[in-house]
Structure 1
Amino acid sequence: MHVVLVGPRAEIVRGLRADGHEITLLYEPGHRQRAAGLADQVSRICAVDSYRKVESLWSALHHLEPMNPVGAVVTTTEWAVVATAVLGQLIGARSLTPAQALACRDKGVQKKLWNAAGVPTAAWHVLCNGLSSAAEAETCLEQTGLQFPLVVKPLAEGASKSVKVAHNLDDFVAAAGLIDGGRAMVEQFIEGREWHFDGIIDDGKLSAFMVSRYSEPLLCTKYGKPIRSIALTPSLNRETYNAASELALRALHALGLTKGVFHLEAFGEPGAFVASELACRPGGGIVGVMTERVIGVDIYEASARIITGDHMPRWEEETKFTHAWTILPTAPGKLNTVEAEDIMNIPGVDSVIMRLEKGSSMRDMADASTTGVGCAAVKGMSPLECQRYIDTVVSAVEKIHENAPFETVES
């Protein structure tokens, strides 16, 4: 089959090649280096000005002619989900439907469908034109019944970009004003533990499913705390898995997603979970590493194979150990001096993936929840032991950053 991959992803290319598919890769200029690294593994490659533009994706295929008919269009890139689905429909290829894609991207559309299906979620409201004054913000609160604190976010972004917590009217107006385009989602802030559920739905049933809980809610990345996530071992946490799978199926069915890979964020505790957001692509960070180790599935390869219809290899689930991971924090304004060997020597760590070379400038974690110098995975006998391991990793990285040099600013 000829498969169009939107956005370079080595795991997807590997899987498609293993299944014998012809691959056309489309990429944005910002991903040029990553795409170049895959050029010898694909049949053809073309730049597009934006993953969000159907026009750009569609026209790229015309510039690559002649080519074989396209059988499937796939992506793991959040910003390409809707355009990829529309492209698939336009050229008669397998893909998510545009309706499914939009429901998994636009948070207002998503929550409206959840409300209609009785799926528990936070109270919400879409600001179609943003806010221009405190008086307008006050009117919004009076009409919707929302109360501070509130979460203000874009309708269709990713990695907690531009997400703010508003504690008063001034915060509310300022947060809404930061949203590109003006249209924003405002939600009631939910206290409590945050979780993420990752898996595959096939023919309306869960064919793979992993439950993980964050050490702190994702919004804590805005205050310098990196993502720390503990994946629960299925055989040791059956009640939690049963409660999580019930919410996941209700949330997926309400959005019309009966076939695909998903990443669902939720709050609360088993028996009282509240759906937050659902994406029809694999989770970020090193969720893929966790699904391989915990439930025996390569979630990235699966995201393409569920569309192409190819067999999805499975191996044994974890039954004894607990696995967890953390993003390695940054120190904005400084140059990175952390190396993989520094982290591999810490007890419990079994793998490290560096994303920032030594000497590179470090971004602020407040920009996006996935910002970091790399990721580390740990393995222990219990969630508590894994928590201690990842806390130790984060502390070690922060200690290294204390002695890191500051960036020099040219005058």
Structure 2
Amino acid sequence: MYSICLGRREEVLKALKSNNIGVIAIVDRRYPRPSSKFYNYFHHVDDISDFEIVRAVCEPYIKNLNICSVIAPGESSILTAGQLRDTYGIQGRGYKISLSLRNKFEMYKVARKNNIPVADTLFVSLLEDAEMFIRTKLKQGKTCIAKPVSGFGTSNVMKITSINDWYQYKYLYLTDKTFFMRDGVILQEFVEGAEYHIDAVIQNSKIQFISISRYLKNNLGFNSHKMVGSVMLLESDLEYSVLKKFNEDVVQAFGICHGVIHHECFLNELGNPILGEVAIRPGGNYIPEMIENATNINLYDIFVKVENQIPVAIHHQKLNESHGYVHIPIHRTGNVKKLVPSDDLLKLEGIIDVRYEISEGQDVSEARYSFQRAGVILGKAKSSTELQKILKKACLLSYPIIESEE
């Protein structure tokens, strides 16, 4: 049996191999080739979101090998995977459901149809309508966000607090030729409130596992605060039951029968949940590692099993400690003169691991997106509130000394 894996996420490739499934790895040319020990066949393609390009590469394998699944471990290949499954009769989610979990405008239409609360949203078809939408919100004392219909994370997402912000973003929209902007942009009213992520496993239309976490700071403000991380909620946390029920409603609304989801949402000022977005893949950054530290559940392995219809049995665990992580930030461009020694950070109460991804003497660029980092700090504490304080302190103490060339 072979799986076509549309992406280079090595944890997923490794999980396929450990489940005795052969791997045909198809990777966008913008990214490097993964280690050869994780695949049987490999191809670079110019654009992994282009179905016809990927189809031309995959068709000979589909005709000559026993293909059991098509896996999309990243956002840009989700629709391609759905089209391949539909075209060749391969088990798994087809294009229609995949579209509602990839195209943000379609996602919000499905949500509204099923009474899932979402922020007021405008698909920008006319620039004049966009400006009117923003001016109306600003007049009401509100702000907006602009983001690509087919984006992911905070890439090309901007908070609009003035009409000049919109003019700046409009220029980006009209001149950016990357795939981020290809399907257009949407405007939304900005939700004032805490941001959460819910990571869940669904099989046979049943939620087998759920983890609910609160971001240390809202990701949209990353460029000003440079703090990326989250802490897992305990069942005793006040928000837990509200968000658990909200996630059940979201899974039902989108008709998700199987998959690992990363669901982002907010609690507004009234404590009501508002949908951010739903991704049909494991969460990014160190979210899977954080969850494994707390539960011994490897989301990458579960993801592979569920996508290949291998039964999983996950026993409910009531956590007694909150686990979390925070990135070590790259706060400026320049040469790394000194990193805070890992041993110094490990002396802080609650810190259990420190991992650097850069080294002294290395030239780095200031992080522009929330997935860019110097490293990560992992921690645990008796409560999510206590851990949040610990990780914020550790982050502030971890700033590398970076000497600018100016």
TM-score (norm 1): 0.88
The answer on whether the counterparts of 2:380 and 2:387 sit within 8 Å (CA) in structure 1 is yes
**1:232 to 1:137, Cα distance in 2 relative to 1, 3 A:** closer
Alignment of 1:110-129 (within 5 A): 110-129=107-126
**What is residue 260 of structure 2 aligned with on the other side?**
261
Deviation at 1:387, TM superposition (A): 1.8
**What is residue 243 of structure 2 aligned with on the other side?**
244
Cα distance between partner residues in 2 of 1:136 and 1:62: 43
Deviation at 1:273, TM superposition (A): 1.1
The answer on whether the counterparts of 2:149 and 2:183 sit within 8 Å (CA) in structure 1 is no
The answer on whether the counterparts of 1:176 and 1:184 sit within 8 Å (CA) in structure 2 is no
Deviation at 1:262, TM superposition (A): 0.7
**What is residue 299 of structure 2 aligned with on the other side?**
299
Percent sequence identity over aligned pairs? 18
**What is residue 309 of structure 1 aligned with on the other side?**
309
Q: Which amino acid aligns with 1:240?
A: E
Deviation at 1:144, TM superposition (A): 9.2
**What is residue 217 of structure 1 aligned with on the other side?**
218
Cα distance between partner residues in 2 of 1:65 and 1:94: 13
Q: Deviations over 1:310-333 (max 9, x none)?
A: 243647736322111111111221
Cα distance between partner residues in 2 of 1:144 and 1:349: 42
**What is residue 359 of structure 1 aligned with on the other side?**
361
Q: Deviations over 1:348-376 (max 9, x none)?
A: 221233333443333333x2121111222
Please point out which of 149, 153, 164 is paired with 2:147: 153
Alignment of 1:24-63 (within 5 A): 24-33=24-33, 35=34, 37=35, 39-62=36-59
* Structure 2 residue 311 is matched with structure 1 residue 279: no
**What is residue 388 of structure 1 aligned with on the other side?**
389
Cα distance between partner residues in 1 of 2:204 and 2:213: 24
Q: Deviations over 1:166-196 (max 9, x none)?
A: 1222222322332334821100111111111
Q: Deviations over 1:69-96 (max 9, x none)?
A: 3110002111111111211222222232
Q: Which amino acid aligns with 1:87?
A: L
Q: Which amino acid aligns with 2:331?
A: A
**What is residue 157 of structure 2 aligned with on the other side?**
163
Higher strand share: 2
Q: Which deviates further from its counterpart, 205-214 or 93-102?
A: 93-102
Q: Which runs of 5+ in 1 are unaligned?
A: none
**What is residue 199 of structure 1 aligned with on the other side?**
200
The answer on whether the counterparts of 1:260 and 1:306 sit within 8 Å (CA) in structure 2 is yes
Q: Which amino acid aligns with 1:51?
A: I
SS at match of 1:302: helix
The answer on whether the counterparts of 2:234 and 2:383 sit within 8 Å (CA) in structure 1 is no
SS at match of 1:198: strand
**1:137 to 1:388, Cα distance in 2 relative to 1, 3 A:** closer
Q: Which amino acid aligns with 1:264?
A: H
**What is residue 176 of structure 2 aligned with on the other side?**
none
Q: Which amino acid aligns with 1:125?
A: L
The answer on whether the counterparts of 2:353 and 2:379 sit within 8 Å (CA) in structure 1 is yes
The answer on whether the counterparts of 2:104 and 2:150 sit within 8 Å (CA) in structure 1 is yes
Deviation at 1:15, TM superposition (A): 2.1
Cα distance between partner residues in 2 of 1:340 and 1:63: 49
Aligned length: 395
Q: Which deviates further from its counterpart, 79-88 or 262-271?
A: 262-271
**1:356 to 1:98, Cα distance in 2 relative to 1, 3 A:** farther
Cα distance between partner residues in 2 of 1:358 and 1:105: 39
Q: Deviations over 1:107-133 (max 9, x none)?
A: 11111111111111111110025x2xx
